[in-house]
């Protein structure tokens, strides 16, 4: 039991500390170089929307203000069977060159994007942008500039999460996202960034992989890029602003849904998990994603293994440290504004959500369609 206890501790330490240190050190020795290329290629910016009447007008004005040649920027709104005023609002901007694809049946974001890329998009490079994610004026120019390196097939923009209502869930998500950004930036420098955020990223049109309806484009696209021999880059100067979930239930749904769809994407490209053929990308996928999703199971094993070896002062202290941590997390259900309590609560929330997502995946549940999280 002691062997199980210490083995579990080492694995947990590797997941949250060892891998980040490794990928950071590795990034110091391998970097992608930017080269000169076409400055302003033809770009298609696609905004996915489902019942976004509250924000779609502001979003269109946001992309129209982009500092990019107007004759080189095609803007398409992909409405996934919206039942509110989304279509009507978009049509009001037709004189500004805004194009609308209205998917009649609610098949999901991926199906809408597949159609637009194949049948409507004219650009050499496609930018995907969510209706609730607002761009800095120069974000399009900056994310496109990264494609000057011909080996880069896709580029992820940098998301900054706003917290207008001072929600502790949003605040803690911001901390989590900064940790995630550290990993993504390091992975990008090595040329092995496995996932991007669907809220804002770009890809060469000729490298776009048709996305099955039950899978997310922001997981399939970068993995498809790697399969075709190209890399993914993280453009930390291409900024976009998003507001995350402001309550625990909304954050739980987002994290569980993300786990289901990302693990489905990994197994869709399961050949990339072969360390003999793809040593580095398989290490990144296993360490950054698969092992992270199973963290709560490992923490549970650690707790019960510790329970069986109580008696030595060291094991007693470690056990009561865990008890205190989970009690603080439990208090987070009732006390919302205390950082000391909210951090353990958020940590447990996202890890339990990941396990729930894995269970749903094993049960064969699919998430083909999406509904915006409203607080």
Tens digits of residue pLDDT in 25-70? 988 876 655 555 558 899 999 999 999 999 999 999 999 999 999 9
Residue 255: per-residue pLDDT: 87
For all residues of the chain together, what is the average pLDDT? 89
Query: Between residues 162 and 8, which one has the greater pLDDT?
Result: 8
69 falls within a domain = yes
Residue 143 sits at the vertex; the CA angle it makes with 140 and 149, to the nearest 5 degrees, is: 140
Whether pTM exceeds 0.95: no
Closest CA relative to residue 290, chosen from 234, 212, 219: 219
Q: Please check the confidence at residue 373 and state whether its pLDDT lies above 60.
A: no
287 falls within a domain = no
117 falls within a domain = yes
Q: Are 107 and 80 in contact (CB under 8 A)?
A: yes
Residue 341: per-residue pLDDT: 82
371 falls within a domain = no
CATH code for position 106: 3.90.550.10
Give the mean model confidence (pLDDT) for residues 350-364.
89
Residue 38: per-residue pLDDT: 59
Closest CA relative to residue 190, chosen from 148, 240, 218, 226: 226
Structural domain including 178 reads 43-247
65 falls within a domain = yes
- 375: confidence class by pLDDT, cuts 50, 70, 90: very low
Give Rg (Cα) of the chain: 22
278 falls within a domain = no
Q: Please check the confidence at residue 297 and state whether its pLDDT lies above 90.
A: yes
Query: Between residues 55 and 373, which one has the greater pLDDT?
Result: 55
Residue 257: per-residue pLDDT: 86
Residue 327: per-residue pLDDT: 94
Residue 348: per-residue pLDDT: 92
Can you point out the beta strands (E) in the chain?
43-49, 73-80, 99-103, 125-130, 134-135, 152-162, 200-204, 231-243
167 falls within a domain = yes
Most confidently modeled range among 39-43, 73-77, 351-355: 73-77
Q: Residue 7's CB: how many other CB atoms inside 10 A?
A: 14
Domains held by the chain: number: 1
Most confidently modeled range among 2-6, 104-108, 170-174: 2-6
Tens digits of residue pLDDT in 168-203? 777 777 778 889 889 999 999 888 898 898 899 999
Give the mean model confidence (pLDDT) for residues 143-162.
91
- 374: confidence class by pLDDT, cuts 50, 70, 90: very low
Any idea which of 250-259, 279-288, 321-330, 336-345 has the lowest mean pLDDT?
336-345
Give the mean model confidence (pLDDT) for residues 211-227.
89
Residue 231: per-residue pLDDT: 92
Give the mean model confidence (pLDDT) for residues 88-104.
93
Q: What percent of the chain has pLDDT over 90?
A: 63
Tens digits of residue pLDDT in 240-283? 998 876 688 888 888 888 888 888 899 899 999 999 999 999 99
Q: Please check the confidence at residue 366 and state whether its pLDDT lies above 70.
A: no
Give the mean model confidence (pLDDT) for residues 220-245.
90
353 falls within a domain = no
Q: Are 198 and 352 in contact (CB under 8 A)?
A: no
- d(Cα 88, Cα 77) in Å, to the nearest integer? 12
Phi, psi of 129 (to 5 degrees): -145, 130
Residue 152 region by backbone torsions, left for phi larger than 0, else alpha for psi between -120 and 50, else beta:
beta
């Amino acid at each position: 039991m002691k062997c199980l206890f210490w083995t579990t501790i080492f694995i947990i330490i590797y997941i949250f500390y060892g891998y980040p240190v490794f990928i950071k050190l590795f990034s110091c020795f391998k970097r992608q170089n930017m080269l000169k290329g076409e400055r302003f290629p033809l770009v298609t910016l696609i905004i996915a929307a489902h019942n976004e009447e509250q924000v779609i007008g502001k979003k269109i004005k946001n992309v129209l203000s982009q500092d990019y040649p107007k004759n080189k920027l095609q803007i398409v709104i992909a409405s996934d069977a919206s039942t509110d005023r989304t279509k009507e609002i978009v049509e009001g901007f037709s004189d500004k060159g805004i194009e609308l694809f209205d998917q009649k049946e609610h098949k999901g974001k991926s199906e809408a994007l597949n159609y637009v890329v194949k049948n409507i998009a004219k650009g050499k490079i496609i930018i995907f942008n969510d209706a609730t994610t607002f761009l800095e004026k120069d974000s399009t120019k900056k994310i496109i500039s990264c494609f000057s390196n011909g080996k880069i097939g896709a580029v992820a923009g940098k998301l900054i999460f706003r917290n207008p209502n001072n929600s502790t869930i949003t605040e803690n998500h911001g901390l989590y996202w900064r940790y995630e950004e550290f990993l993504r930036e390091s992975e990008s420098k090595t040329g092995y960034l496995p996932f991007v955020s669907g809220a804002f990223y770009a890809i060469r049109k000729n490298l776009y992989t048709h996305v099955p309806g039950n899978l997310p484009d922001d997981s399939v696209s970068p993995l498809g890029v790697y399969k075709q021999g190209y890399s993914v880059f993280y453009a930390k100067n291409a900024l976009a602003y998003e507001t995350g979930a402001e309550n625990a239930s909304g954050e739980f749904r987002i994290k569980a849904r993300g786990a289901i769809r990302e693990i489905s994407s990994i197994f869709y490209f399961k050949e990339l998990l072969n360390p003999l053929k793809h040593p580095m990308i398989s290490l990144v996928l296993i360490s950054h994603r698969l092992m992270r999703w199973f963290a709560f199971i490992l923490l549970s094993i650690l707790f019960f293994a510790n329970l069986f070896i109580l008696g030595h002062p060291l094991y007693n202290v470690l056990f009561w440290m865990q008890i205190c941590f989970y009690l603080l997390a439990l208090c987070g259900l009732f006390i919302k504004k205390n950082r000391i309590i909210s951090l353990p609560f958020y940590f447990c929330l996202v890890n339990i959500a990941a396990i729930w997502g894995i269970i749903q995946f094993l049960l064969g549940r699919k998430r083909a369609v999406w509904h915006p999280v409203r607080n």
